[in-house]
Structure 1
Amino acid sequence: MTQTPQPVTDPLTLAALDTERHVARSGWDQPVRLFALVPTAELLALEPQLADGLAAHDAVAGALSAVEQEELPEATGLEELLAQIAWPDQVTGCALAVERIVVPPDAERDLPDEDEAALRAVAEHPSRQDVRLLVAVTRGGEARCLLRQRAHDSDDRVALGEDIAPGLVHALRATFGPE
């Protein structure tokens, strides 16, 4: 017996999937991209002309729309960048897209201690995989993580879970201040 996949209906997952597809359309080798997630109904009340470009699922109760943050603060790394982010009350959640190189766990154990040598070893490893993570969280604590592998980019499939990138989930939740 074959199971028919159930349609995704929760607002955070829909927003994460839409945002990841938006990022994917720009290809690979992108910088970090950050998005505010705002209630679609409130966005349309302020910007009614945006209604023409919305998908059917944007009418779902509680739907969220992603608004890209164009000018990010200067930072030497992702942790420093996120430490500078704070959201106004109108922002229900946020999403972050970041590309990474991953290697199998056994390859990680053999990496050099020196940072530059380790980065070079990862980049040159024959089993390396380029991946894009999109992590979305809400002010209320929900999280969705999507992972797209560059090697499987053409099939448009992404892995979906809540704990694929726990460090990024935690760092994004911290942008909403103390719990």
Structure 2
Amino acid sequence: MNTALTRSLIELEQHVARDGWDQGPRLFALADTAALIKAEPRLAAALAPETVEMAGLAPLRTYTSIEQEGFPGGRALDEALSGIGWPETVDGAALVVERVMLPPDAEADLPAESDGVNVDAWAAAHPQRQEVRIAVGVLRDGSRDCALRLRSRDTDDEVLSGPGLVPNLEDALAQTLQD
């Protein structure tokens, strides 16, 4: 587990949470904070003092999130991600999205799209649905992690984290880092 990535995603989710619920997807580049300050010393003034201080404490590593404005521009998420590529100076990528999740036992009741049922609407109306905000991040070294907040437990101390919570989203985001 990459604790710097975990810490970064939890902070990122909390940052996005300040804007409330019902937001569109938000995409971020992740840059090693120490390398970013070294390359652009003027940026240190824009960062929180504790972030700058931690960036100088080797071997601790921190990541700075840089939001990519205008994402996804009205396109489907998978389509929008497939068109993203990052320069080598970007150490990783993070995506924050809101989704409706269902318990595993609800999958047996899932209607087929061929039945003419809007699956998204069906899931949104399901009595066991959970609305969640997911911050997923991947690094060039292969590290992956997620931070997840349930709308029903909307406090910073209730944010869950762990790798593999949304593997398909992790895979799609990791593809944006491929050459």
TM range (shorter): 0.7 to 0.9
User: TM-score normalized by structure 2?
Assistant: 0.85
How much does 1:139 deviate?
0.6
How much does 1:59 deviate?
4.3
Match of 1:33 in 2: 26
Comparing 168-177 with 37-46, greater Cα deviation is found at 37-46
Match of 1:90 in 2: 89
- Which structure ranks higher in relative contact order (CA pairs < 8 Å, sequence separation ≥ 6)? 2
Structure-to-structure mapping, 1:156-167, within 5 angstroms? 156-167=157-168
State the alpha-carbon separation in 2 of the partners of residues 144 and 35 from structure 1: 14
State the alpha-carbon separation in 2 of the partners of residues 175 and 70 from structure 1: 16
Give aligned pairs, total: 171
Q: Deviations over 1:112-157 (max 9, x none)?
A: 2236532222111111110111111101100111111000013531
User: TM-score normalized by structure 1?
Assistant: 0.85
Structure-to-structure mapping, 1:1-179, within 5 angstroms? 10-45=3-38, 46=40, 47-55=43-51, 57-60=54-57, 61-74=60-73, 76-114=75-113, 116-154=117-155, 156-177=157-178
* SS at structure 1 position matched to 2:100: strand
State the alpha-carbon separation in 1 of the partners of residues 69 and 49 from structure 2: 20
Could you tell me which runs of 5 or more consecutive residues in structure 2 were left unpaired when the two chains were aligned: none
State the alpha-carbon separation in 1 of the partners of residues 20 and 74 from structure 2: 23
The 3 A distance-change label for structure 1 pair 104 and 82 is same
- Amino acid in the other structure paired with 1:113: A
Q: Percent identity?
A: 41
The 3 A distance-change label for structure 1 pair 17 and 58 is farther
After superposition, the CA RMSD in angstroms is 2.2
